[in-house]
Amino acid sequence: MGRKDVDRERLHVARDEAPASAGVQLLEHTFVVVTQAFCPASHNLVGAGPTAFDGYPGIAIWVDDGKTQGLVELSPIHGDRSKVGPEFAAGTRLRLECPVCRAELAFLAECSCQPGATLRKLYLNERRDEAHVVGLCDIWGCTRSRVIDGSEILSEWLAGNIRTSE
């Protein structure tokens, strides 16, 4: 994937570079790449599977809809919707787990894509700092998953993009 393939309408790049411990790297002032993402038990899911996206290791998530399950690898490049793994019908609700320990990803907020949808957390540092997370929607095909830092979560909530109940 080249720079021309990035979804620029949804791409948000902060002016200040994130600290290295945040697990996000700003490249060429146009790319945001998730370089580490941890489950609730601190397993790094970046590179936990065999797939690379434009040379960057994917984010591995174990998914299960009650009938089909398997490893899905997501592109770590913000704005790139590429993924590898089993396919599900659009709108299918999935259980999202760590592929190493099978812990379910923790609740972050409700997603507004459809009733009952939730954003699940991947932590951007091993300490599992709540200020730096990736929110993944548990609905197959939802494009509202996002990288959130502590200053953005309130903005997302105020804009109505997420709701905070479970």
Pick the closest to residue 132 from 64, 32, 54 (CA basis).
Answer: 32
Contacts of 137 (CB under 8 A, 6+ apart): 111, 113, 117, 118, 119, 120, 144, 145
Which of 49-53, 58-62, 79-83 has the weakest average pLDDT?
Answer: 79-83
Tell which residue, 39, 25, 35, has the closest CA to residue 126: 39
- How many distinct structural domains can be found in the chain? 1
| Residue 87 pLDDT level (bands cut at 50, 70, 90) | very high
Tell me which of 11 and 24 has the higher pLDDT.
24
- Mean pLDDT, residues 64-83: 91
Q: Are 135 and 152 in contact (CB under 8 A)?
A: no
Cβ atoms within 10 Å, residue 21 = 13
- Compute, in degrees rounded to 10, the torsion defined by CA atoms 18, 22, 23, 26: 0
Domain with 28, as residue range(s), is: 3-163
DSSP state at residue 98: -
User: Cα–Cα–Cα angle for 69, 56, 6, nearest 5°?
Assistant: 90
> In the structure, what pLDDT confidence band is assigned to residue 145 with cuts at 50, 70 and 90?
confident
Q: Which amino acid is at 82?
A: S
Cβ proximity of 135 and 96 under 8 Å: no
pLDDT confidence of residue 103: 97
Identify the helix (H) or strand (E) that includes residue 56.
strand 56-57
Q: What percent of the chain has pLDDT over 90?
A: 47
DSSP lists the bridge partners of residue 123 as: 38, 133
**Model confidence pTM above 0.85:** no
